Amino acid sequence: MSGVGPPPATAPSKSWTVKVREKGVDALPPDRLLPDGQPTYVASWIYVFGVASIAALIVIIGSGSILALKGPAWWHYTGVGHFFNSIHMWSVELFFFAMVVHLWGKYWMAAWRGGRGRVWVTGAVTFLIAIPAALTGYVSQQNFDAQWIATQAKDAMNSVGVGAFFNLTNFGQMYSYHVLLLPVAVVLLVAAHVLLVRRNGVVPPFELEQKLPVAARAAPETDGPPRSSTGATS
């Protein structure tokens, strides 16, 4: 009889969905979540390595998913398997390479300035979680190299008292950590890191920060359509 029409003009709903939506929009307005452009100072090579890390992470997840689907016999004994195994390994190398350069760049520009402490912490924790993610990958190869690494690294784990919970010689446990627990942690942390960068804006250079009004230091103007008169020029 009647189709889908406008909602009745009653008092605003305060259901949990409305509250979540309102908090979400307050925390991340659409123009900050998906901005028209980035500040002019972002046009520097040192700002490239964060997104380079994410690009490498996407390749890691994609190639790792294929390796998980096909299994050890495929990645050890077929040409295509060797290829994807190499793609997975080299994308990890690039991930750490780009992440370390990103970390150095952000450290020397004190990227925790302007209320960006959580951005820094999520990035640093991502780096720390990525290390066991890589280690569990090395011991999940199903070859003598993996056995050698596992038996050497177990002593380090035992010496700090975590061997009972993180046993390098337990393949099933290491594989679960490698293909589920640690990748999920890394992806969630990277997502939180990127959303926090969107919320707070990319940290400005020291020189520029001193020129900016206090209100504009946390999220300076972009070179897209201007929102206010506080233009960020470097």
Closest approach of another protein to the CB of residue 179, in Å: 26
Closest approach of another protein to the CB of residue 6, in Å: 41
Q: Is 49 in the site for another protein (CB under 8 A)?
A: yes
| Binding positions for another protein, 23-42, rule CB under 8 A | 40
Among 44, 78, 86, 151, binds another protein (CB under 8 A): 44
Closer of 105 and 132 to another protein (Cβ) = 105
Q: Is 43 in the site for another protein (CB under 8 A)?
A: yes
SS3 category, 220: coil
Segments in the chain forming alpha helices (H): 16-27, 30-33, 49-70, 72-77, 79-108, 117-138, 144-159, 171-176, 182-200, 206-211, 214-217
C-alpha 178/C-alpha 44 separation (Å) is: 34
What 3 state SS string does 52-72 have? HHHHHHHHHHHHHHHHHHHCH
SS3 category, 112: coil
C-alpha 62/C-alpha 131 separation (Å) is: 19
Q: Is 231 in the site for another protein (CB under 8 A)?
A: yes
| Binding positions for another protein, 76-135, rule CB under 8 A | 93, 97, 100-101, 104-105
Closest approach of another protein to the CB of residue 27, in Å: 28
Each residue 57-76 as x (binds another protein by CB under 8 A) or -, in order, gives: --------------------
Contact between residue 139 and residue 195 where contact means Cβ atoms under 8 Å apart: no
Residues forming the site for another protein (CB under 8 A): 40, 43-46, 48-49, 93, 97, 100-101, 104-105, 223, 226, 231-234
